[in-house]
Amino acid sequence: MGPVKIKDNIYWVGVLDWDIRDFHGYSTPKGTTYNSYLVVDEKITLFDGVKKPFKNQLIESIAKIVDPKRIDYLVVNHVEMDHSGSIPDIVDLIEPEKVVCSPMGKKNLIDHFNRQDWPFHVVETGDQLKLGKKTVSFLETRMLHWPDSMMSYLTEDKILFSSDAFGEHWATSERFDDQVDASELFAHAAKYYANILLLYSPLVQKLLAKVAESGIEPVMIAPDHGVIWRKDIAGILSAYGKWSRQESLKKALIIYDTMWHATEQMANAIGEGLRQEGFDFKLFNLKYNHRSDIMTEMLDAGALLIGSATINNGMMPVMADMLTYMKGLKPHGKVGAAFGSYGWSGEAVKQISETMREMGITLVGDGLRVKFSPKKEDLERCVELGRLAARKALEQKTATPLPRD
C-alpha cells in the first residue's frame, strides 16, 4: 500500500502486516499495521520506523513523495523492535542530521544497535523542534509502555503522533476512524488496551491529565498501530479514561479448564447463581478461548470465577498459562473465587486462590472443591458461590481507587 496524505505536507507512509497472528501472546487475527509518518517542511522529518522485514515497503512509500535521502530528521518515539527494527538501515540510507529521541530512547537505541555514532538529539517533555513552518513539541510518556516512550505533537496542525497509545492491532486498507465500523474499531482498541496498557493504568490517568493541562487539543491522533483518529477523538480519550479507571459493570467471567466435564458442570452452576443475582456472566473454556480475548472481557468485569481440575498435583497447564498472563497485566478492583474438581489430591483450587490473592483480587471464601463428579448438593454450593460473588462485587463496585505508581 502506498502513502496516504493525512494533511497538507503530512503523510502516512506505514505498512500493513496482514499475516501476523500473535504479538507477545496477544492474538491478532486481523493482523496489524506499523505506522510511520512523513512531514515535508524545510526540514523533512520521518516519525518512527517499521518492523525490519517491511523496511523496503517503507522506503518505497517515502520515495513516492520525496527522495528518502532528503530526510533531515528522524524522530524515534519508541524503541520497541516493531517500530525500530528498520532504523539502522534507514539511518544508513538517509544519513539524517538528527536522530531525535528521549533520554531513555538514546540509551535503548545504543543498547539495541550499538551505534553510538548516530547524531542523537535528545529531547524531554516541553522541548520543541522547528521544522520550518511547523513545530514539534515532545511529551515523554515513560512506561507507556516502555521507559523510552514519548509522543510528538505537531503544534500548528494539532496532530499528536501518539506512539503505542490509542492504537489497535488491526490491518485495514482504510486509514481513518471515520472510514471503518466504529463498534469494531473500539473493540480492537479495547483489546489493545487490555493486553498492552492495562498494567500501566495509573500512568494512563496521569497522561490524560497531563495532556489536558498542557493545552494539547489534537484534531488528529496518529498512533503507531491501527487507524488514525480524526472524528471521534473525544470517544477514544473517554474510553481510555474509563478503561484506566477499570470501571466494572454487573458482569462476571467464569474462566475454567475441565478434564472430564466435572469442573464444567460447576462452572455452569456458578453461572446460575450469578444470574439469580442479576449479574451478566460469560463462560470461557480455556480449550476454546484465547487468553487475550478473555483479558479484553475482563476490562469491565467485576467478578472472576476461576476453575480447574487438578492434574499431577497442580492446575491444568492452560490455566497456569492464563494466570501467568493475567498476573502480569494486573487487573484491579475485582472480586473472585476458585473452584474445581479433583480425584485424590485437589491442589489446583488452592493454587488458583493463592495466585488470585497475589493479584490483589478480593476472594470470596477459600475456594470450592468437589471430588470427582458434583452431586446435587455440590451444585447447590456452586450456585451459592455465584450468588456470593455477585453480592460482593456489587459491594466493591463503590470503586476502590487505583493504586498509585
Using an 8 Å Cβ cutoff, are 126 and 138 in contact?
yes
Closest to 320 in 3D by CA, of 252, 257, 253: 257
Q: Which residues are catalytic?
A: 24, 78, 80, 82, 145, 164, 192, 225
CB 123 within 8 A of CB 138: yes
What are the beta bridge partners of residue 256? 285, 307
Q: Under DSSP, is residue 34 helix (H, G, I), strand (E, B) or coil? A: strand
Of 339, 395, 336, the closest CA to residue 364 belongs to 336
- The SS3 of residue 350 is helix
Nearest C-alpha neighbor of 126 from the set 111, 136, 116: 136
The CA distance from 125 to 137, in Å, is: 8
Is the C-alpha dihedral spanning 382, 388, 391, 393 positive or negative?
negative
Rg (CA), the chain: 24
- Helix axis angle for 201-214 and 233-245, nearest 10°, is 140
Contacts of residue 110, Cβ cutoff 8 Å, sequence gap at least 6: 116
State how far the Cα of 138 lies from the Cα of 48, in Å rounded to an integer: 14
